[in-house]
Chain A
Amino acid sequence: MSVAGYVERNRLGIGGAVATVLLALVLAVAFDLPVESIVTVGFVERSLQAATPIALAAIGGLYAEKSGVFNIGLEGFMILGAANAAAFVWLIGGESPTQGDLWLAIVAAVLVSLVYTLLFAVLLVRYRADQIVAGLAVWFIGLGFGPFSAVLIWGNRNSPGLVSVNDLTVPVLADVPVLGPILFDTSPLVLATAVVAVAAWVFLYRTRYGYWIQAAGENPEALDTAGVNVRRVRYASVLFSGAMAGLAGAVLFAHAGSFTGTGDTMVNGRGWIGIVAYLFGNYNPVGAAAAALLFGGLDMLQIQFQTAGIELPNRLVNLFPYVAVVIVLTVWGSTRMPSAVGESYETEE
């Protein structure tokens, strides 16, 4: 496609992007914002950490949707993933768990997520459950059973401080200015997520199975005719999405070091933001990760505002990601969904 054609079709989106950048500039000048003390190396580092769970959930969710199943339960699977990771850390390591215990707990939480997701996938694919309603149900189940298990284990909806993941420091490279601390002295989970994003892109767009996933969402009849089991492809994609959301929850826990089950739990809408991240990234895993970084950055602005001495109530700064999601959805919302999303597929038997 030509550049002119692209501009023509995305006029609103591009206009919105330009307007956003201009507005940010105007605000920065008008309020004399100390930009350099807001955008610091530490800020980038924190943003990457905040973006990691969102990106993982988003990549999983986009696989499911590409295959024709809208997994709207990401938020719920994240809550259960975080709660289970915390529970396993406690089970394995007790009061003072080690890094090894933490990694084991992450793996265990992902495995348990796979079991939950299998049940969910059976309801969706085999019993043709309403995808929206069942996904919402997963959210409610997470909101109920996540804190429930915390109360069972710790007698409180929040866990005590358990363990958070240590930074991975690469000698020599970590001393490189700017890039060093961002890339070579950070949470290994951030690096792993970057690898996952690229791998997910390659798999989806460069392998045969990736094409099957896309076909299952766009034209299941054709895939069926070609002799591929559509249901099986969808099962695999939904399982992957649930495992990724569980991992996202476990990662959220690993960065925080404890489980919070009060209010909307520590996941606090990140699963929903993940859905918007992949819509914004136009179903491209790398694009979804980039969008997650945007939301992660907005999430971390609060700390920057405080250190820069900008007087804005915390509670309101915390709302930036949610407001951004609404704006993003409105201006860039009309991305093209795979055409068979939401429809269950029946082979002619």
Chain B
Amino acid sequence: MLEASALQRLGIAMASTALALAIGLVVVAAAGYDPVTFLADVFEGAFGDENSIGRTLKFTTMFVLVGVAVAVAFRAGVFNIGVQGQFIVGGFATVVAILWLAPLLPAGTVGGLALLVLGTLAGVVAGGLYAAIPGALKAYGDANEIITTIMLNFIAVGVVGYLVEGPLRGEGNRAPNTARIPEYVSLPSVVFDSPDFSLVGLAVALVVVGVVSVVMIRTRVGYDMVTSGHQEAAATFSGVDAGRTVVTTMAFSGMVAGVAGAVFAIMIQGYYSDPGGVATYGFDAIAVSLLAANNPLGVVPAALLFGGLDSAGTHIGINSDVPPQLIDGIVGLVVLFVAAPELFRMAARRTGLGGERR
């Protein structure tokens, strides 16, 4: 997949999305709904009004962060399917850290800012450590990281779910949630007047993209990661410790997932609830990253696309009878088609469209 040129990649990404949407429309029609109305609902839900745009950008923020987390690992040839788990552990650590530290710091803007930073740091550390586990198991125990990370997702949901149900449930809470983090620990609303979206969050996500790109392209660590991914033998020959690189890669990827968890906890939720019922950003992130050819910069437009789709899903869930789970299925189809670029190359050659690109 990586041998394709940038232009070809873009073509494949667009064709995959279009084909997946087309199949989605067929399913909608087959289920007895009007596909035209559905399509109109999708656009309205994604970009219809200020509300929709704010919601789309909220999801985009999350997808940028988790997408970059996945991209970091995939680029280095490590399959981190555990971003969901790292995202949960990171977000939970953020909330717990803020709740514990809040009484020790002065309330108000300064205290709030300090708590934001410390909470996010806690999330980053927790996410990184949780990801380092499967990294170490792969590097030193030869355990397939695809399966260990998936298992660790289930374990994260179970353990955090147990903690918010029992030991760490907020006092007097009927629902299995932690206590709410203090009002003054929040991102200021800029332009969009929404309780769960702030442009500051989006800015944080874009800064993370920049930092990750620089680390991957301009630093020794990043270079080692990418070479190990493409040419393991060559990397080992030039003195890169393959085992340690795997652990570093996973930890780095998990740290970004931790930032995603922190932004989710602070910007969107304000407390932590049973992660069994929380959105599965970490899974959609795989689709985001693949669509972006695992390029941290490419993640931004891909995240916008998926942000729009998810926002449309929310809109459809409220305003239409079509079950919003359809959107998840469409995301799966996008991934399926992205996995098979040959399908489109062959189609392109048959129809004579862009066949000369090869």
Q: How far is the CA of A238 from the CA of B138 in the complex (A)?
A: 27
Asked if residues A128 and B276 are in contact (CB atoms below 8 Å), the reply is no
Majority SS at the chain A contact face: helix
Q: Does B81 belong to the interface (CB within 8 Å)?
A: yes
Asked if residues B333 and A315 are in contact (CB atoms below 8 Å), the reply is no
Asked if residues A141 and B332 are in contact (CB atoms below 8 Å), the reply is yes
Name the residue of chain B whose CB is nearest to the CB of A325.
B151
Q: Does B1 belong to the interface (CB within 8 Å)?
A: yes
Q: Interface size bucket, A side?
A: 35 or more
Q: Does A20 belong to the interface (CB within 8 Å)?
A: no
**B310-338 vs A, Cβ < 8 Å mask (1 yes, 0 no):** 00000000000001011111111101101
Q: How far is the CA of A144 from the CA of B342 in the complex (A)?
A: 25
- Of the candidates B141, B146, B331, B340, the one whose C-beta lies within 8 Å of that of A144 is B331
User: Nearest Cβ in chain A — how far from B13, in angstroms?
Assistant: 13
When distances are taken between beta carbons in the complex, the residues of chain B under 8 Å from A133 are 1, 290, 335, 338-339
Q: How far is the CA of A128 from the CA of B339 in the complex (A)?
A: 9
When distances are taken between beta carbons in the complex, the residues of chain B under 8 Å from A244 are none
Asked if residues B143 and A128 are in contact (CB atoms below 8 Å), the reply is no
Q: Does A139 belong to the interface (CB within 8 Å)?
A: yes
User: Nearest Cβ in chain B — how far from A172, in angstroms?
Assistant: 43
* Given A140-B332, A263-B276, residue A132 in contact with residue B146 (CB < 8 A): yes
Asked if residues A313 and B162 are in contact (CB atoms below 8 Å), the reply is yes
Asked if residues B330 and A144 are in contact (CB atoms below 8 Å), the reply is yes
Q: Does A112 belong to the interface (CB within 8 Å)?
A: no
The segment out of B102-110, B153-161, B238-246, B261-269 that lies at the interface is B153-161
Asked if residues B323 and A272 are in contact (CB atoms below 8 Å), the reply is no
- Of the candidates B31, B158, B327, B339, the one whose C-beta lies within 8 Å of that of A152 is B31
Asked if residues A333 and B143 are in contact (CB atoms below 8 Å), the reply is yes
Q: How far is the CA of A325 from the CA of B145 in the complex (A)?
A: 12
User: Nearest Cβ in chain A — how far from B135, in angstroms?
Assistant: 12
User: Nearest Cβ in chain B — how far from A79, in angstroms?
Assistant: 11
Q: Does A188 belong to the interface (CB within 8 Å)?
A: no
CB interface residues, B 263-312, toward A, < 8 Å: 276-277, 280, 283, 286-287, 290
Q: Does B10 belong to the interface (CB within 8 Å)?
A: no
Asked if residues B323 and A147 are in contact (CB atoms below 8 Å), the reply is yes
Asked if residues A333 and B144 are in contact (CB atoms below 8 Å), the reply is yes
* Given A144-B329, A272-B151, residue A136 in contact with residue B335 (CB < 8 A): yes
When distances are taken between beta carbons in the complex, the residues of chain A under 8 Å from B165 are 315
CB interface residues, A 309-349, toward B, < 8 Å: 313, 315-316, 318-319, 322-323, 325-326, 329-331, 333-334
Q: Does B43 belong to the interface (CB within 8 Å)?
A: no
Q: How far is the CA of A140 from the CA of B1 in the complex (A)?
A: 20
Asked if residues A148 and B335 are in contact (CB atoms below 8 Å), the reply is no
Asked if residues B325 and A157 are in contact (CB atoms below 8 Å), the reply is yes
Asked if residues A323 and B141 are in contact (CB atoms below 8 Å), the reply is no
Asked if residues B286 and A134 are in contact (CB atoms below 8 Å), the reply is no
Q: Does A127 belong to the interface (CB within 8 Å)?
A: yes
- Of the candidates B79, B162, B328, B329, the one whose C-beta lies within 8 Å of that of A132 is B79
When distances are taken between beta carbons in the complex, the residues of chain B under 8 Å from A313 are 162, 166
When distances are taken between beta carbons in the complex, the residues of chain B under 8 Å from A319 are 154-155, 158-159
For this complex, 10 residue pairs linking A to B, each with C-beta atoms less than 8 Å apart, are A72-B146, A129-B343, A132-B79, A134-B336, A145-B329, A152-B31, A264-B154, A313-B162, A315-B159, A329-B147
Interface residues of B (CB under 8 A from A): 1, 27, 31, 79, 81, 137, 141-144, 146-148, 150-152, 154-155, 158-159, 161-162, 165-166, 276-277, 280, 283, 286-287, 290, 323, 325-333, 335-336, 338-340, 342-343, 346
Task: Please provide the 4 A-B residue pairs with the shortest distance between their CB atoms, ordered closest to farther.
Answer: A144-B329, A144-B328, A140-B332, A141-B332
**Other A-B pairs beyond A144-B326, A147-B323, 5, CB < 8 Å:** A141-B336, A143-B280, A144-B325, A144-B328, A148-B27
